[in-house]
Amino acid sequence: MRFLPINLNSFLIELKDLNETLRLFDMLNELSSKEITLIIPAMKTLLISFNKDLTTKEELIKKIASLDLSKSFLKKQDSKKDLVTIPITYDGEDLEEVARLCKLSVKEVIKRHSSSEYRVAFCGFTPGFAYLSGGDKVLKVPRRKSPRISIKRGSIALADNFCGIYPTNSPGGWQIIGSTTLSMWDLSKNPSALLLPGLRVRFVDASTLDSALDSKTRCDETILSYDMMQIDKLDKAIEITKMLLPATIQDLGRKGQEKQGVSSAGALDRASFISANKILGNEENAPCIEIALGGFSFKSLADIKIAITGATLPITIKRDGVEIRAKSYKVLKIHSGDEVILGMASHGVRAYIGVFGGFKVKKILGSASSDTLANINPLLIKVKTKLFIDDNASKLTHTHIKKPSLLPKVGDIVVLDIVLGPRTNWFSYQTVSDFLTQEWLVTPKSNRIGIRLLADKLIKSKFEDELPSEGTLNGAIQIPHDGQPVLFLADHPITGGYPVIANVANYHLDLAAQIPIGAKIRFNVIADFDEIRVK
């Protein structure tokens, strides 16, 4: 085993192969240790997060290093119920490129792919995205040099030694060879993922099938909404009247769904989110609205109390034709018929609108949070949407929260503390120096998935080899082939195949989420890269 740093309460375990990785994963799950809060398996690694109140990094690593991995974890699974057959249409835009890379004809690529049997090794990247191993070794191709911004759900692609099926529309860098109408991810089912670790998979050319698939198996999006909830006509509510940019419902995120490839998502600026609820006397996890950059308005359909936190923006209450200026980080009493108007943010990006009692939202996988990468929308917000208030939620004592110092604005240079690793050694000394000494511009391509950065000197790996996919966390700074870093935020993929040069310190994640487009970031090292030795 090799132990590599990630951040202040996480590390990466590098192992010999997939078999050894899954064996250790199984053993750690059997231990049911309260010290370990998260395990993300991948091809040759396990990402471990731990509770610093219960153990130290050194103690936990010593405990894990003492485990015996000599026994094989993988078991034979030959029953028909363990086999999933996937119909495929070989119409992928990279099919000819794959044939060229493999020095085969397109016909031979199709023959080899459809005659192979795969096994689900692990899930990640996006919810329901299964990494399928064990296919024809000749069909080993690199990822694209520059990932696509959006790949259509149902696309079937190759990268490294894996095959994968995109369960939702998402970014991606794999080589697309075909597509399927079979749904990989269905929130109305339990489990939601069709493919789970251990299952066997075969692909069948759809052109050879006699009949179409049942419509229930097709790639339709499942959106849970108020239609699936019990709403009392007397419930208090607000109605959205203006929205310049997408707004989402958030809580503190969903936990324990990593085996299906689901990240926690949740409020990007957790401190501001919690402040809104504490000011109102709500439970700290009560659902709030998260907006970006302002330009958001709503009309109250009842007498309610609200609090607005996070980004600095003008707040106006329009009551009986009179405009009243209001302050953030205060309990605001809103009358029925009032319109609350939020202007554009001067500092920061994300603002939170909390309401006394919290919003009534149907939870998905244990959380009210929207996940933009996974396309999980417990409540889709748009103009004229009515958001109902949970009057039955438990109430606590109102807490006075002091408004924090000004957040970053356009043109500012923001310093973020980082821990180097786990793949800093994939870059030359000069490249790491360029990464640390440059000021990185936040570009308009940034969103809840990640902050996309740009500077004069691009960051290139010194290795031509592909990195086997491995776990990532909120705050990971990943370097794709184009050399432009991506700083992952809450809706990030669970696993990724580009090297992570560093991770933002946990205490600066809220600040990172508030850095606007047009500001710049400079990284400050608080822990150098070094393999963690077992003492």
Residue closest to 421 by CA, chosen among 526, 533, 502: 502
Q: What is the pLDDT of residue 387?
A: 95
Residue closest to 17 by CA, chosen among 44, 55, 50, 52: 44
**136 token code pair:** 């024809």
Residue closest to 390 by CA, chosen among 530, 231, 512: 231
Domain with CATH 2.40.100.10 in the chain: 80-217, 413-527
> For the chain, what's the residue count?
535
Q: Domain 80-217 is of which CATH architecture?
A: Beta Barrel (2.40)
CATH number of 2-65, picked from 2.60.40.10, 3.40.50.280, 3.30.1360.40, 3.40.50.620: 3.30.1360.40
Q: What is the pLDDT of residue 466?
A: 72
Residue closest to 24 by CA, chosen among 52, 54, 6, 47: 47
Q: What is the pLDDT of residue 214?
A: 41
Integer Cα distance of 9 and 307 in angstroms? 32
Query: Is residue 127 within 8 Å of 260, Cβ to Cβ?
Result: yes
Q: What is the pLDDT of residue 410?
A: 97
If one counts every other C-beta atom within 10 angstroms of the C-beta of residue 205, the result is 15
Dihedral pair phi/psi, residue 145, rounded to 5°: -65, -30
Query: Is residue 292 within 8 Å of 262, Cβ to Cβ?
Result: no
Q: What is the pLDDT of residue 218?
A: 43
Residue that the structure tokens 């250790």 belong to: 24
**165 token code pair:** 């099926």
If one counts every other C-beta atom within 10 angstroms of the C-beta of residue 326, the result is 17
Q: What is the pLDDT of residue 22?
A: 80
Q: What is the pLDDT of residue 234?
A: 54
**From first to last of its 535 residues, what are the pLDDT tens digits of the chain?**
999 999 999 999 999 988 888 889 888 887 777 899 999 988 899 999 999 999 999 999 999 999 988 865 444 455 566 899 999 999 999 999 999 999 999 999 999 999 999 988 888 877 899 999 889 999 999 988 888 989 999 999 999 889 999 998 888 889 999 999 999 988 888 788 999 877 899 999 998 875 444 433 444 444 444 444 555 555 799 999 999 999 999 999 998 888 888 889 999 999 999 999 999 999 999 999 999 999 999 999 999 999 999 999 999 999 999 999 999 999 999 999 999 999 999 999 999 999 999 999 989 988 999 998 888 888 889 999 999 998 877 777 788 888 888 899 999 999 999 999 999 999 999 999 999 999 999 999 999 999 999 999 999 999 987 788 899 999 999 999 899 999 999 999 888 889 999 999 999 999 999 999 999 999 999 999 988 888 7
**526 token code pair:** 């608080």
DSSP H or E segment with residue 396 = none
Domain with CATH 3.30.1360.40 in the chain: 2-65
List beta partners, residue 48.
Answer: 11, 39
CATH number of 413-527, picked from 3.40.640.10, 3.90.550.10, 2.40.100.10, 2.60.120.280: 2.40.100.10
Q: What is the pLDDT of residue 236?
A: 92
